[in-house]
Amino acid sequence: MPSPVQGFRFSAVSAGIRKDGRVDLALAVADRPVIAAGRVTRNLVKAAPIVLASERLKQGLVRGVLVNSGCANACTGEPGLEAARRATSAVSRVLGADDTEIIPASTGVIGALLPAEKIEARVSELVLKLSPTSIDDFALAICTTDRWPKVAYATIETPKGKASLLGIAKGAGMIHPNLGPPQATMLCFLFTDAIIERPELEGTLMEGVDHTFNTCSVDGDTSTNDLVLALASGASGVVAHAEELLPAIENVCGTLARSMVRDGEGAEHAVDIVVRGLPTNDDARRIAQTIATSMLVKTALFGKDANWGRLLAAAGRAGVVFDPNASGVSIAGVEIARGGLAVGSEAEAEAQRRMADETYTIELVLGDGPGRALCVTSDLGHRYIDVNAGYRS
């Protein structure tokens, strides 16, 4: 089977980092150094691999990315940085690359030091197994509490021809991405064979991430290890510009972000929170995110309870001025509140029936302004507590 994206190879092995013996070490390698752009967590507490990745992305050229699951290597101080350096140096030596051309990424338990010696022992096998078609192996190896691996593709359409974009991601809990310029976990790796200038790749990635990952939430917690990395090999020979790349990035990242929310630990529903009628998009987004992270709202989603009062109450504490007496709420296409008052029990009963669907939309109209925003969220139920109460055991 031919690779969907030219110029990259993938592999995965079990290095014994995870307690359960599953594959836990993944490698993606470009045939030559390629341009790269990245966005990392804005959490003040940054894991060692994030610190190292931020430094190395400044040079703009990358040969590969080394990802482990089972250990976040966060809050590990200088030993954590040294462990990440040792692991990536082992890869660079076998590849004949510069140490700074390998980007590290980790996901798993915070506070545990990365066992670099386990990675060093498996690097030769990891490199030997590299293949253009081992995408699913890579995707599986980076999972933690994910119920399924996350892979998405898109075609980049240009006047001179077509190029490809591949996205591989993981995430199910500790999902409330807040990704900014380089400075459970959400990891995403984008690979394209288009020719694109680095400034355009950086700008397009920032815009695409802000419209997708930064508008989704599972539990309101921003990880210490969040990373989105984009690599462009140019192997297709097709030149792409920002306006051609952006739709593909938003397609792939949007698909992956929704998959993360649907996979929210114990989640049964992925719900679009749409807010419109505010003076600005920023106002609407602030309210949408407040609703999306409300525990009362999320438990109502789990209980399939058309409790529109919780929606308006969350909107009212978002710090944005609107007229509650001119507000309306719809759930799954059923209007249940108008002018700040209930439409009636029949409407609520119909909305409640529709809340059994895996996905649906909740819309709040809070005025007649042009501002609009969307945030994707999940319900919150017993399984989330079960997963996270025993995560380290």
Query: Do residues 226 and 320 both lie within one domain?
Result: no
Query: Do residues 156 and 90 both lie within one domain?
Result: yes
pLDDT at residue 393, rounded to an integer: 45
102 part of a folded domain: yes
292 part of a folded domain: yes
pLDDT at residue 146, rounded to an integer: 86
pTM: 0.91
- Residue pair 340/325 in contact (Cβ under 8 Å)? The answer is yes
Query: Do residues 208 and 283 both lie within one domain?
Result: no
Check which CATH number belongs to the domain holding 75 and give it.
3.60.70.12
Query: Do residues 165 and 213 both lie within one domain?
Result: yes
113 part of a folded domain: yes
149 part of a folded domain: yes
Query: Do residues 21 and 152 both lie within one domain?
Result: yes
Query: Do residues 233 and 290 both lie within one domain?
Result: no
Of 237, 262, 287, which residue sits at a domain end?
Answer: 262
pLDDT at residue 177, rounded to an integer: 66
2 part of a folded domain: no
Distance separating alpha carbons of residues 329 and 341, to the nearest angstrom: 9
pLDDT at residue 156, rounded to an integer: 97
327 part of a folded domain: yes
For residue range 162-185, list pLDDT tens digits in order: 999 999 999 866 556 655 544 356
Number of C-beta neighbours around residue 345 at 10 A: 9
Check which CATH number belongs to the domain holding 313 and give it.
3.10.20.340
For residue range 172-229, list pLDDT tens digits in order: 665 566 555 443 568 999 999 999 999 999 999 999 998 998 888 887 767 888 899 9
pLDDT at residue 153, rounded to an integer: 97
At residue 356, the 3 state secondary structure works out as coil
- Residue pair 173/145 in contact (Cβ under 8 Å)? The answer is yes
Number of domains within the chain: 2
Find the DSSP H helices in the chain.
48-57, 77-95, 116-128, 135-141, 198-211, 242-262, 281-292, 295-302, 308-316, 345-354, 382-389
Residues of the chain with pLDDT under 70: 1-2, 172-185, 221, 390-393
| CB contact set of 35 (below 8 Å; sequence gap of 6+) | 60, 61, 62, 196, 197, 198, 201, 231, 232
251 part of a folded domain: yes
List the catalytic residue out of 185, 192, 222, 224.
Answer: 185
224 is catalytic: no
Query: Do residues 22 and 71 both lie within one domain?
Result: yes
Query: Do residues 353 and 373 both lie within one domain?
Result: yes
| CB contact set of 319 (below 8 Å; sequence gap of 6+) | 286
pLDDT at residue 370, rounded to an integer: 98
- Residue pair 43/86 in contact (Cβ under 8 Å)? The answer is no
Q: How many CA atoms lie within 13 A of 363 on its CB side?
A: 13
Query: Do residues 136 and 252 both lie within one domain?
Result: yes
Query: Do residues 75 and 43 both lie within one domain?
Result: yes
Residue 389 is given by DSSP the state: H
Distance separating alpha carbons of residues 208 and 219, to the nearest angstrom: 22
1 part of a folded domain: no
Distance separating alpha carbons of residues 88 and 72, to the nearest angstrom: 15
Residue 101 is given by DSSP the state: G
Query: Do residues 205 and 188 both lie within one domain?
Result: yes
Distance separating alpha carbons of residues 305 and 70, to the nearest angstrom: 36
Of 262, 286, 304, which residue sits at a domain end?
Answer: 262
Interhelix angle for 48-57 vs 77-95, to 10°?
50
Of 262, 285, 312, which residue sits at a domain end?
Answer: 262
State the residue range of the domain holding 305: 270-389
Query: Do residues 275 and 339 both lie within one domain?
Result: yes
